[in-house]
Amino acid sequence: MATYNYVAKDALGKVITGTTDAENEQILVRRLREKGYWVQKVSAARAAAPTQARARPRGGFSLGRVSGRDLAVFCRQFSTMIDAGVSLVRCLAVLEEQTSSGKLRGIIREIQVAVESGETLSRSLTRWPGVFTNLFVGLVRAGEVGGVLDETLNRLATFMEDNERLRRKIKSAMTYPVLVLFFATGVVIGLVTFVLPTFVRVFDDLGIKKDLPAATQILIQFSNFVTTKWYMLILGVFLFLIAVSQYVHTRIGRRHYHWIKLKFPIFGKLNHKIAIARFSRTLSTLLVSGVPILQALETVAGSVDNDIISDAILSARAAIREGEQIGDPLQRSGLFPPMVIQMIAIGEETGSLDSMLSKIAEFYEAEVDAALSSLTAALEPILIVCLGGVVGFIVISMFLPLIQAIQSLQGGLGDEGAAGGGE
């Protein structure tokens, strides 16, 4: 969790300031509003000064990222040792030596120091929000409270393995289209930069540069821009990407981006299915681990990675606090398919909500699998046709003036021959 400073007013207009932990700003604002406060400002608090144990870890610390696979292996091995009765500190010492990730090794070392000094495992994990998500910390905390840390870590390992498998499928499905687009861009730049200028010199020699077809003139102007003002093109693309990135990092921009992700043709349905699968799998994992429904929904809202769906989940959480069933507010949002709503309602009625959510997750993960296969199969011919169309346009634009010049010469020679025959 991150730490935030906030300024708010209560019902009497009194200004209230404070500092608290929350998954993100959106969840904190909603939490304060539920208490009857009018939120005026929320800002991230500066991290507290590190303790001596954190400031002086034993050994070096490697930069880099910790992959989901490394974390899944970490959880699986941790669970096995806890189940075998190994003490928490000794587990961490063994895991430090066992892991192949330099960054994770340094983090485990510092967690061990914190645990030895009397801190709980879940509390020590919150120091690395970029590595251990709210879901990870919440499940570990639930396992500590319920005395079933080994089972919780085992479920967490399974969850992370499933999540990593889904991520790999998406990445592998997108690899081919990206390579084709990269190749197509290289071909177009090569034709426009190196081949077309040679044809332009031929047009000059033939004296037909002034009477070129419109397509050829457009292509030549584009070639001149790319070859003489390439730095402007690169600068423009760079500035555009920076502007988009900065806008997406704002609250409004992030909402617009997430809305586009859900509504974009073809890819929108795929993103929607991925979000539903992640929502179902995460909520099922939290509930089966003994996390209360309100806390579970708050954690899911922070980990679903889409503000539009996150708002619907938080609205459902607020409605549940008022005594409603979870299915009704989700249905009102219009973001959850009828099948999901009905299965959740049946799960609530039969007391098996966690297993129903698990079945929903399995169904939508299979749907994502099928959608990815269909998308990959459809994108291949579309990209090939588009690439062929672009290259064909360039080739025709380059050869069309030559064909016209040859036809003019043949026509001229034919007129001269007819004139000679008449004499």
Scan for tokens 């690169």, then name that residue.
234
The reply to whether 40 and 65 lie within a common domain is: no
Residue 67's pLDDT is 79
Same domain for 215 and 364, yes or no, is yes
Residue 149 lies in a domain: no
- State whether 291 and 375 are in the same domain: yes
CB within 8 Å of 195: residues ≥ 6 apart: 398
Residues 84 and 39 in one domain: no
Residue by residue, DSSP assigns 127-191 as T-TTTS-HHHHHHHHHHHHHT-HHHHHHHHHHHHHHHHHHHHHHHHHHHHHHHHHHHHHHHHHHI
Angle, vertex CA 361, rays to CA 358 and CA 367, nearest 5: 145
Residue 65 Cα distances to 8, 15, 90, 203, angstroms: 37, 41, 25, 55
User: Is the residue at 51 inside a domain?
Assistant: no
Answer whether residue 89 is part of any domain: yes
Q: List Cα–Cα distances, 302 to 22, 168, 305, in angstroms.
A: 9, 22, 7
For residue 82, being part of any structural domain is answered with yes
Q: What is the pLDDT along the chain (423 residues), one digit of tens a residue?
A: 567 778 877 766 677 777 776 766 777 777 777 777 777 777 776 544 343 334 334 434 444 577 788 888 888 888 888 888 888 888 888 888 888 888 888 888 888 888 888 888 888 888 887 788 777 887 788 778 777 788 888 888 888 887 788 778 778 777 877 888 888 888 888 888 888 888 888 877 777 767 778 888 888 888 888 778 878 878 888 999 999 889 888 888 888 988 998 888 878 888 888 889 888 888 888 888 788 888 888 888 877 778 888 888 888 888 888 888 888 888 888 889 999 999 998 988 888 888 899 899 889 888 888 888 787 777 778 888 888 888 888 888 888 887 777 777 666 555 555 555 555
pTM of the model: 0.64
Residues 231 and 335 in one domain: yes
Query: Does some domain include residue 307?
Result: yes
Indicate whether 239 and 342 sit together in one domain.
Answer: yes
Q: Structural domain tally of the chain?
A: 3
Q: 104 and 214 share a domain? A: no
First to last CA, the chain: 99
Say which CATH number the domain at 64 has: 1.20.81.30
Q: What's residue 96's pLDDT?
A: 86
What is the span of the domain harbouring residue 8? 2-44
Domain assignment of residue 112, yes or no: yes
- Residues 225, 201, single domain; the answer is yes
pLDDT confidence of residue 239: 92
CA separation for the pair 332, 10 (Å, rounded):
30
What does the pLDDT read at residue 61? 42
Whether 35 and 122 share a structural domain: no
The DSSP annotation for 233-300 comes to HHHHHHHHHHHHHHHHTSHHHHHHHHHHHHHSTTHHHHHHHHHHHHHHHHHHHHHHTT--HHHHHHHH
**Is the residue at 146 inside a domain?**
no
Structural domain contains residue 150:
no
